[in-house]
Amino acid sequence: MQDHVVPEVGMPQIIGAVVIAMLYIGIFSLVKKENRTRLNAIVLAGAGAAYLSSGLGPWEFAFCALMTFVAYKGLTRNYMIGIGWILHTCWDLVHHLKADAIVPMDPTSSFGCAICDPILALWFFSGAPNVWVVMREKLQNRRTLKPIS
């Protein structure tokens, strides 16, 4: 950790992270609403443990414990999952700047995660709606609108 070099990040990493977030939201939108929150709370708990032994010593365990608590509260509350992804974003930035990357063979992975996570948080803060239903409704509304003449 003492000789940590902050890796350069470019547009491909940013675009890739946004695409990953969109894929995640699209795939998890296919899960029934009643299961979506619980399943995402479990994913969040796993994300909280992703950085264990990544160079920050006991702080890794403290963060993992915090994320476990937030994920537990997120079993029934989407906004708690959103809070968890914001916390994970902060941890991603710390690792990008000071410690090991989340994916060892990709030194920019923590930065990419820091781009992806707030997008997920926004989705959860909005109630984690099924994006396919939202898009279908928007398209139907667009088709039914008649021009004013």
The confidence band for 146, taking pLDDT boundaries of 50, 70 and 90, is low
What pLDDT, in 10s, does the model give residues 5-54?
Answer: 888 889 999 999 999 999 999 999 999 998 999 999 999 999 999 888 87
Residue 40: partners with Cβ closer than 8 Å, 6 or more residues away: 28, 74, 78, 81, 124, 128
Q: Which uninterrupted H or E stretch holds 79?
A: helix 78-98
What pLDDT, in 10s, does the model give residues 66-97?
Answer: 999 999 999 999 999 999 999 999 999 999 98
Chain-centre distance for alpha carbon 115: 8
Give CA angle at 109 (13, 68), nearest 5°: 130
* Residue environment code for 11-26, b if the CB has 16+ CB neighbours within 10 A, otherwise e: eebeeebeebbeebbe
